[in-house]
A and B are shown apart, each in its own frame.
Chain A
Amino acid sequence: MVTLDVRPQLLEALSALRDRVASARFPLPLTGAPRARANRDELLAQLDDYLVPRLRQPEAPLLAVIGGSTGAGKSTLVNSLVGRQVSEAGVLRPTTRTPVLVCNPEDHHWFAGLRVLPELTRVWMPDHPELREKPARPGQRVGRDEPRRGAGPGERVLRIETAATLPRGLALLDAPDIDSLVIGNRELAAELMCAADVWVMVTTAARYADAVPWHLLRTAKEYDATLVSVLDRVPHQVLADVSRQYGALLTKAGLGEVPRFTIPELPESAGGGGLLPATAVAPLRAWLTHRAQDPAACAQAMSRTAAGLLSSLDSRMPELAGAVSAQYAAALRLTAAVDDAYTREHARVRGRLQAGGVLAGSALSRWRSYPLDCSAGELLDAIVDSLAALLLCSVSAAGQRIDEQWSREPAAASRALAEREADREGAEHRIGLEARRWRRVLEEYVEEEARGQENPPDPEAVTALLATALLGGRRARTAGETLAERIGAHGALKLRDRGGRLLTECVEKVLRAERDRRLAPLDALDIQPESQAELIAALSVLKKER
């Protein structure tokens, strides 16, 4: 058999690249994200199903995937090439829902294992005695993963058929429609095309100008895959005309050198079940057989597709890396919006605290009536309550600002980010907790300070005065004075100092905690800047090894 010139370093670089591609994530719903995700999957499919196995085992049989629009006669073509009914053909569309792989019995072991298309569960039809009678031969790699007879619902399956009529070293894969109404079929068809050494494109006299097959042809050209084009179901009377036009279209699209086979419309092609006469498919069969059996042609077919795929990485990897970096940039923008909102709010809270904004409303009423009509405990309660209200207000203002900013970001529509529980009550609870903790620590400070003094003043009253002095700004000047009278100027200064620091800490802690809570879903998506660099690095390593 033929060998491609493959060095182990290349394989290593390739598998490193594959891992990088597999780890690329696009969780944010940016405009390019679905496309990037599909590109990633497609690239992964091509690497896993085709490039890596092909480079590892260049002697494996040539896989020709028959693809085309619905009703183009793919199954009939495969059946005719094989010479018996292996894939169901019919008039109802879409006909082929399960892909069928046909190979020579000798080659069966290549495909029974998970060498290619590992995601598809292998099944085979029970009505082929040759398979049942011939269990795993020595050297066959099926043992660890014996194919099953049936497949569960939702499982994607690949049916493997063997036919001695096919030459060794050639396998045909009958793919579902590339433009099927069933979306799963479309995806599967694309994935199968990715695994092909030879792309056999089937179109018909009625379809050769359709947009969809041309997209496929263009794709094949882009990847520089080994391509064969089959014009099927051409009525006899217009055969030459249509064939010429199709050729002209191909040449215009820069695909002039693609081998082109024309198969006339025969009664058998429409009815389903019938096989086309051998003469009709003979040229195609001969071409495929030649590829499979002539080492040079085989090597050429394989290496062309492989090399085309490798060089297509040059453009596809940067695209992927670009999408990754777009994700990171979007995540950065979202984070920046959150940070910005909380920074602003923090500044605002500091301003309000300095201006004595806490000593307003109830707290102010209490303070005015203190000490005659209000106890120290009530004053303290009111002040702590007011502090909590200030913090809650700033947190929800930040939340609103973030919502506004994020509503302009498409990335914020992500379900993970949108599913924020309405936790106003939760935030209220958490902030209240923090405020009460601050009060408790303040009381401890006061008790500590008062312990040394003879004739200790009422700690609660001192705490209330201290809290008022700390939070009341200018309007609580008298509170500071009274405090100094009660506990001594030095002690008052020390208490105010410590209390002030504690207050700053408390505010920062609350705002930071709420900010982190807000960012938690985004952080959970784990969007890192490194993956872009890693993708490019893996590509450049691969380029060096090539």
Chain B
Amino acid sequence: MTTISENSKNLDMALSNDRARVLKSLVLSDTLFSFATRAAAYAVLLLLAGIIISLIVGAWPAMKAFGFEFLVTERWAPQLEPEPVLGALAPIYGTLVSSFIAMLIAVPFGLGIAIFLTELCPHSIRRPIRLAIELLAGIPSIIYGMWGFFVLGPFLANYIEPSIVAAVVNIPVLNSIFSGEMVSNLSLFNASLILAIMILPFITAIAVDVFSTVPPVLKEAAYGIGCTTWEVVNNVVLPFTRVGVVGGVMLALGRALGETMAVTFIIGNSFKITGSIFAPSTTISAAIASEFAESEGLHQSALILLGLLLFVLTFIVLATARFMLMRLEKRAGA
């Protein structure tokens, strides 16, 4: 008897020893894991700081030479002797306006598609449409650029834009926004339209995902008290999901602001602010892409400064988005 009880005691001790060992090794692996993830996270911060610092170092000569004037100067004259005159106003204008028009087109379309897919679409065609939209997101930007250059641009310039120009030619403000003076394949509007197509999948995909998080019971209750589809979408689905929708829209805006290759192909790369959206323009990223390789000295530094400005611009957009989301969440919580 004693031997048995002693044995079981020994066994117990052995077991608890074992458990301690196992637990210890678990603690070790957990610490290692947490250390590795932390290192990865800090590495990103370090990388970000490194990029900002090298941008500032590269942009310093231009900052010193142009100062605040850089932001309000429209001229871009790298060839001037003895000192070039360079200003960021035209690319900033082009970046903001092209992104704004793109959002103006893509947001209603993207949300409309998402609502159709989640609320109205017959099951049989839901998958093919979603797949097609996801494929749009997978098309490389250079392909959009080529398609815009060879197909969309000539089509718009030859068939669509002349009739818009003719329709508004006598309406005061519109006739300068849609001025026919420079209608060509490459323009601010054509670039914006390509941008809209490029960011559409982002808006749609995120909206579809967040729309499907709406508890069916909420929608069913609304339908049950006699709401129309529009009322359900407007009063149940959108209020329930607005945080996610705004997030998706901001992500798309971030992409539109920084898009380079497709825009460089079709915006016309002209450092002029004309007020007409059918005129060629340029964006920050298009200016950098087309001029950086052949630039030197102050010109190159000014291009780096443009890059820094784009960085700041995108940061402001994302920060505003965060801020708006926070306020929305607070209001929703109250």
Q: Are chains A and B native binding partners rather than an unrelated pairing?
A: no
Q: Which residues of B contact A (CB under 8 A)?
A: none
Q: Which residues of A contact B (CB under 8 A)?
A: none
